[in-house]
Amino acid sequence: MSDSEIDRSGSDLGPYHLVRLLGRGGMGVVYEASDARLGRTVALKILRPEVVGDPERRARFDREAKALAALQHPGIVTIHSFETIGEDTFFTMELVHGPTLDQVMRDEGAMSVARILEIGIPVTDALAAAHKRGIAHRDIKPENIILGPQGQVTVLDFGLAKLAGPALESSVESMGATASMDATIEGRIIGTIHYMAPEQAQGGDTTPTTDVFSLGVVFYEMATGLNPFPGETTVSKLSSIIKDDPQPIREHNQQVPVELERLIRRCLEKDPDRRWQNALDVRNELELLQQELANPANSPRVVESQRGGLGGRLFLTMSILALVGLGIGFAIGVLLMNIGTGLEREQMASSWVGPPQCVSVSGPRDHEIVRAQISPDGRTLAMITRATTEDAEGLAETLPGDRQFLHLRSLDSFESRLIEDSQRILTGEFSPDGRSYIFVRLPSEDNLPAKLMRLELGTGMPPVQIGVIPLSLVGYQSIDEDNRGFTWLDKTTLAFVTQAPFKVLTVDAKTGDEVTRIELDYDREFQPSALYAPIDEQTFLLGVNYYDERGYMQDVLWVDATTGAAGLVIESAPTAEVVLGNQLLFTKGSTLYRSGFDPVTRTATGSAIPVFAGLRTSNSWTSGGFDVARNGTVVHLPGGLQGSSRTIWTMDGADVVPQRLDHPERAFEEWVSVSADGNQVLLTHTNDNNAMWDLWAGTIDPPRIRRIQSFPNRDIHSSVLSRDGSLAAAQITTTQPTRSSQLVVFDPTSTGRPLRELDGRDGGRWLMPYDIHPDNDRVVYGDRDEGGATEALFEIGLEEGAQPRQLLGGVATHQNARWSPDGRLLAWTSNESGLFEALVATHGPDGLGRVVPVSAGLAQRVGWTVSEDGVTRLHYFANNVEFLREVRTDDGTISLGPIVTTGRTLGDDAFYSDLDQQGGLVYIRKGLNEAPVTRVELISGFFTSDDDQPAE
C-alpha cells in the first residue's frame, strides 16, 4: 500500500497533529490537523509524490500555490502555508465547517429565487476575486461550495485552479510563460463531468468564462432540481454538453422570473465569447435582480415569482432522483449506464439506438497515443502513449520502448493518470470485469524475457510482476510494429498464440503460470496477426493473414482454447469484435461495419452495414483498430487510412536540412536502398490493387521511378542495391502453397527478371538481404525466426551451386550487415550484449576476424562513407540520431577514431534510411496525415441487445 493510501490519523507531521482523515483526492490526502505552534485547527493536504516529483514541477507548483495563497477573500478558503517536512510536501488551509450546497439542495429541493440569490451572490463575488487575479477555478460544482452555520458561503478546492492569463506575471517571481496546475499535476479530476464547459469537454483551454458556464449549471440545478444536460452514459453526457441547448428553466419551474432564466441561459452559451466574461459580470446581474426583489413595485414579475415560489419539499423527490444520477458520484451513473434495469434492457432490445454520439478526448500532455482501449464496463480509458521530445542527444540514449507508457483515464475525469512502472509497455488488456489490467513490459535488455505485469484498478496500488514471457509469444518485432498481443478468456485466464507451429497457450492471470498448450487446428496456411476479445470463456477471435490468388488476405477466425479448433468468422476483415452476443463489429480499411453474429455457428450473418469512417490504420494495407465496451461504446484513434502519401527525402553529406525530392507521393514501405553515387534508388511499395508489396526502382535525378517486380500472391520486399546499381537482392514471402521465404537476386535496371533464388526456407523463417559485396559476387543476409528472438548472419556467393556460409549465430540477433567500400570489413548491429550496438570486424575467406565494438551505446543501423581525403567512416543511427567514427585497418588490426555527432537527426516521421558513399542520406517520410495522435474518439448510440440482426 502506498503512503497516500495509509490513514495517518493520530500521527504527527512536524508541528501538526493529524486528527482525522477528511478525504482523498487526485492531488492528495486531506486531514483535520492541529497546529501546535499557533494553537489552531487547520485542514492539511498532503500532496501525492507524483504531484511534486521532480524539481521543475515542484518549483512550478510552488509558484502557483503562492499565487493562490495571495487570494484574500472571505468567500475563498485561506491557504496558510506551503511546506515540506521529510518526504511529505503539503499545504495547510482554513478548516471550514458546514454542509455543502449539494447536501442543501438534497434537503431543500428546487430553491426559491431569494435562496438562489442568497447563495449565488457570495459565490460569484468570491470567484470574481479570483478572476481579477487571472485565476480560473475549473471545478465549480455544488460539492465545492460550503454554507456555514451563520449563512456565510465559502468556495473550496482552488487546488484545481489554473493561472488563466498574464495578470499574475508581475506578482509571481520568474514565471515567464503562464504556468498552470494542469502542467504540474497528473491523475486528478480537472472539472466534474456534470458541470463541464464545452471547451473543457473537448480538451480546450480554460478561462474565467469556463467557470461562468459551470455556475450556470449550478444555478440551473438550484432553480429546477435537474441537470441541464441529461445523459445516461459518459459519452452522451459529454455530447449533450457540447451540442445540446438546455430546456427552458420555466418549463420545469414557471415561478422563475424571465430575468433569472435569461441570466442563466447566457451563462450556458456554448461559445465562450457569448457568455458573461467573468464572475464579476454574473455577480452584478444577480445583485441587480436582488435589488428588484427589494422593490416589488418595479418588478411585478419577480414579486409574483416569490409569492408562488416552488421551494421546500415539493421537489425533494425530483432532487433525489437527480442526485442519484449526478451527485452521488459518477460511478453510479456509469453503473446504471452499463447494467441498466430490466425495463431499460427490454427497451434497448426493442429498437436500434440512434443517432450516434461522438466525443473527442485529449490524451496526456507531451505524449502521442499509440493505442486506445476501453474497459468492458465502459468506465475507464487505457492509452498506451509515447512521450514526445525535442532533445536529440537524450533521444539517442533512450532504449526502444523507453518513451512508451500506460495512462489510465476514468471517463468521469478529465485528465489521465500515468501508471507507475509502466515504462516500456508493449501491449495490454483489461480483464472481463474491468477490475484489472495486465500488460507486457519490454525488458531492459534485448536478450531477456518480457515482464507480465498486473494492475488492480481502483486500489491505488502499483502494478506487480506476475511472470515472464518470451517476446515471441506476443509476436514482437520492434516497438514501431504492431504485435499480436494476447486476450483474456475469463477473469482468471489469459490466452496467447505461439510462433509456428502455432499453439494456443493459456496462462493463469494471477500467477503467470502456463496452464495448457494445445495445437491450433485450421485448414489453411496463415500467420496470426492479433488476438481479440473472447466470445465466451473458451473461445476468442484471432486475426490472421495469408496469400492466395486474390493477393494479401486478412480474416478473423474463432479459436477454441480448450481444443485448438478454429473456424472462419469473417473474411477480408482483419479486426473484429462481438458486441452484446449477437452483433459483429469489424473494419475494412478505415471504415467500421456491423452485421449480425450467430453465436452457434460463430459466423457473421446478414449484410455488412457501414457505421462510420475515419478510423486510423497503421499503414495502407491494414484496417483501422478499435475497441468496444459491453454497452456498445466504441473507442478508436482518428486519422483514416495511413501510409499512402509518403514521400522521398534527402540530406547531402554536408547539409543537415532535409530536402523533399520531386517523386510523387506513394504507399512506400520502410525499406529504401541507394547506389554508391547516390542517384539510383530501390524501394518497397504497397500495390493498391491487392495489397501486395512490390518493388520500384529509378533515379533521383531525374526524379523517376517505376514498378519492376510484382506478384499476385507473394510479397517481394527488403531489397538492397549493389554499389554500382547493376544488381539487387530481395526477399520473397508467401503462404501459398506453404509458408516460405526466398532470397533472390535480379537486375534492377530492366524489368527485374529473371529472378534467381540463392536460398530458401519453409516455415517460420525470414531471409533478410542486407548488402551486396562491392565485387558483386556475394550477398550477406540474415536468417531470422519470425518471432525475432534470434537472427544469424550468412553470406552466399552468386555462382551456380554456391552454398551459404554462416558468419554469426548463437542466441542473439545479428542484423543490418554492411560491407565497407573496399569489401575488407563488415559492420552490423547485434544485441549479444543485451543492447543493440554497432560492431565491426575484418572479413575474408576464413570469415570474420576479431569483433570490435563501435558505438558507445544503442545503434540500430549502420552505413559506410568515404571522406574527401579518402578516410573510411562508419555511420550508425540511434533513434534516428546519426553518429560516425573513422575506421582504419593496419595489418588486419582495426583502429577507431572518436565518436562524432553529425548533427543530422531524422524525426519520428522518418522511415528506414540509406547512405550513399559520399554521405548523402535518402529516407522515406510519413505523410502529413500520419502525424502523432493526441486524442481518442468515443462513439456511442449504435448498439442494442436485440436478438435479431441490427436494423438497416
Say how far apart CA 512 and CA 467 lie, in whole Å.
5
Looking at per-residue pLDDT, the higher value among 159 and 922 belongs to 922
Mean pLDDT, residues 133-145 taken together: 88
* pLDDT value for 136: 86
Mean pLDDT, residues 904-920 taken together: 90
Burial 369-386 (b: 16+ CB within 10 A, else e): bbbbbbbbbbbbbbbbbb
* pLDDT value for 518: 97
Residue type, 472: S
Strand positions, DSSP E, 571-709: 575-579, 583-588, 591-598, 603-613, 627-628, 634-636, 647-651, 659-660, 668-674, 680-686, 693-699, 704-709
Q: How many CA atoms lie within 13 A of 48 on its CB side?
A: 20
Of 329-333, 421-425, 511-515, 648-652, where does mean pLDDT reach its minimum?
329-333
Cell of 181: 496546475
Of the candidates 658, 694, 710, the one whose C-alpha atom is nearest the C-alpha of residue 913 is 658
* pLDDT value for 619: 87
Q: Using one digit for the tens of pLDDT, what is the confidence trace for 563-573?
A: 999 999 999 99
Distances (CA, A) of 719 to 8, 671, 697, 771, 917: 64, 7, 10, 9, 18
Of the candidates 146, 132, 143, 150, the one whose C-alpha atom is nearest the C-alpha of residue 76 is 146
DSSP conformation class of 3: G
Say how far apart CA 915 and CA 884 lie, in whole Å.
12
How are the residues of the chain apportioned to helix, strand and coil, as percentages rounded to the nearest 5?
20, 40, 40
Say how far apart CA 234 and CA 173 lie, in whole Å.
41
106, pLDDT greater than 90: no
Looking at per-residue pLDDT, the higher value among 763 and 479 belongs to 479
User: How many other C-beta atoms are found inside a 10 Å radius of the C-beta of residue 797?
Assistant: 15
Q: Please, which pLDDT band fits residue 698 given cuts at 50, 70 and 90?
A: very high
Q: Most confidently modeled of 93-97, 195-199, 426-430?
A: 426-430
Say how far apart CA 251 and CA 757 lie, in whole Å.
81
H or E stretch at 547? strand 539-548
Burial class from Cβ neighbours inside 10 Å (0-12, 13-18, 19+) for residue 429 reads buried
Q: Using one digit for the tens of pLDDT, what is the confidence trace for 625-662?
A: 999 999 889 999 999 989 999 999 999 876 778 999 99
425, pLDDT greater than 90: yes
Q: Could you tell me the strand order of the sheet in which 16-24 lies?
A: 12-13, 16-24, 28-35, 40-47, 88-94, 79-85
User: How many other C-beta atoms are found inside a 10 Å radius of the C-beta of residue 501?
Assistant: 9
With beta carbons less than 8 A apart as the criterion, state whether 583 and 570 touch.
no
Q: Using one digit for the tens of pLDDT, what is the confidence trace for 851-897?
A: 999 998 899 899 999 998 999 999 999 988 999 999 999 888 999 99
With beta carbons less than 8 A apart as the criterion, state whether 95 and 19 touch.
no
SS (H, E, C) 324-386: HHCCCCHHHHHHHHHHCCHHHHHHHHHCCCCCCEEEEEECCCCEEEEEEEECCCCCEEEEEEE
Q: Please, which pLDDT band fits residue 93 given cuts at 50, 70 and 90?
A: confident
332, pLDDT greater than 90: no
DSSP 3-state of 222: helix
Looking at per-residue pLDDT, the higher value among 289 and 342 belongs to 289
Say how far apart CA 250 and CA 841 lie, in whole Å.
85
Q: Give the residue ranges of DSSP H helices in 499-643.
A: none
348, pLDDT greater than 90: no
H or E stretch at 821? none
Say how far apart CA 888 and CA 890 lie, in whole Å.
7
* Residues in contact with 656: Cβ distance below 8 Å, sequence separation at least 6, in sequence order: 902, 903, 904, 905
DSSP 3-state of 251: helix
DSSP 3-state of 682: strand
With beta carbons less than 8 A apart as the criterion, state whether 940 and 235 touch.
yes
Mean pLDDT, residues 674-693 taken together: 94
Of the candidates 769, 775, 813, 831, the one whose C-alpha atom is nearest the C-alpha of residue 795 is 769
Of the candidates 921, 406, 427, the one whose C-alpha atom is nearest the C-alpha of residue 661 is 921
* pLDDT value for 253: 87
* pLDDT value for 391: 61
Q: Using one digit for the tens of pLDDT, what is the confidence trace for 771-797?
A: 999 999 999 999 987 666 689 999 999
Distances (CA, A) of 668 to 623, 689, 732, 756, 926: 17, 15, 17, 25, 9
* pLDDT value for 351: 28
* Residues in contact with 521: Cβ distance below 8 Å, sequence separation at least 6, in sequence order: 563, 564, 565, 566
Burial 138-149 (b: 16+ CB within 10 A, else e): bbbbbbbbbbee
Q: Using one digit for the tens of pLDDT, what is the confidence trace for 146-192?
A: 998 888 899 987 644 443 433 322 222 222 222 222 322 222 334 46
DSSP 3-state of 428: strand
Looking at per-residue pLDDT, the higher value among 339 and 726 belongs to 726
Q: Please, which pLDDT band fits residue 912 given cuts at 50, 70 and 90?
A: confident
* pLDDT value for 63: 64
Q: Using one digit for the tens of pLDDT, what is the confidence trace for 252-264?
A: 988 899 999 999 9
* pLDDT value for 344: 30
Mean pLDDT, residues 316-322 taken together: 31
- The CATH class of the 3-328 domain is mainly alpha
With beta carbons less than 8 A apart as the criterion, state whether 892 and 883 touch.
no
Residue with cell 521529510: 86
With beta carbons less than 8 A apart as the criterion, state whether 479 and 404 touch.
yes
Q: Using one digit for the tens of pLDDT, what is the confidence trace for 367-411?
A: 999 999 999 999 999 999 999 876 655 666 677 788 999 999 998
* pLDDT value for 305: 35
Same CATH topology for 3-328 and 647-926? no
CATH 2.120.10.30 corresponds to the domain 647-926 = yes
950, pLDDT greater than 50: no
Burial 235-267 (b: 16+ CB within 10 A, else e): bbbbbbbbeeebeebbebbebbbebbbebbbbb
Say how far apart CA 9 and CA 22 lie, in whole Å.
10
Say how far apart CA 557 and CA 832 lie, in whole Å.
37
Domain residue spans of the chain:
3-328, 365-472, 647-926
With beta carbons less than 8 A apart as the criterion, state whether 633 and 236 touch.
no
Cell of 828: 552490423
Say how far apart CA 105 and CA 109 lie, in whole Å.
5
With beta carbons less than 8 A apart as the criterion, state whether 637 and 936 touch.
yes
* pLDDT value for 397: 67
Q: Which CATH number fits domain 365-472: 2.120.10.30, 3.30.565.10, 1.10.8.60, 2.40.33.20?
A: 2.120.10.30
Q: Please, which pLDDT band fits residue 2 given cuts at 50, 70 and 90?
A: low
Burial 773-796 (b: 16+ CB within 10 A, else e): bbeeebbbbbbbbbbbbbbbbbbb
Mean pLDDT, residues 827-850 taken together: 94
* Residues in contact with 607: Cβ distance below 8 Å, sequence separation at least 6, in sequence order: 595, 952
SS (H, E, C) 132-151: HCCEECCCCCHHHEEECCCC
Looking at per-residue pLDDT, the higher value among 617 and 52 belongs to 617
701, pLDDT greater than 60: yes
Say how far apart CA 626 and CA 591 lie, in whole Å.
11
Mean of pLDDT over the chain: 84
Mean pLDDT, residues 48-57 taken together: 69
66, pLDDT greater than 50: yes
Q: Using one digit for the tens of pLDDT, what is the confidence trace for 189-241?
A: 344 678 989 888 777 778 899 999 999 999 999 999 999 998 766 677 878 88
Distances (CA, A) of 846 to 56, 513, 806: 57, 46, 11
Of 587-596, 722-731, 748-757, where does mean pLDDT reach its minimum?
748-757
Residue with cell 452522451: 236
* pLDDT value for 895: 96
Mean pLDDT, residues 794-813 taken together: 94
* pLDDT value for 25: 67
pTM as predicted: 0.67
490 counts as catalytic: no
Q: Are strands 659-660 and 450-456 parallel, antiparallel or unpaired?
A: unpaired
Considering the candidates 12, 102, 125, 139, report the single residue annotated as catalytic.
139
Percent residues over pLDDT 90 in the chain: 56
Residues forming beta bridges with residue 91, ordered by sequence position: 45, 82
Burial class from Cβ neighbours inside 10 Å (0-12, 13-18, 19+) for residue 178 reads middle
* pLDDT value for 383: 98
Q: Are strands 893-896 and 881-890 parallel, antiparallel or unpaired?
A: antiparallel
Strand positions, DSSP E, 700-813: 704-709, 715-721, 728-734, 740-746, 756-762, 765-772, 778-785, 791-797, 805-808
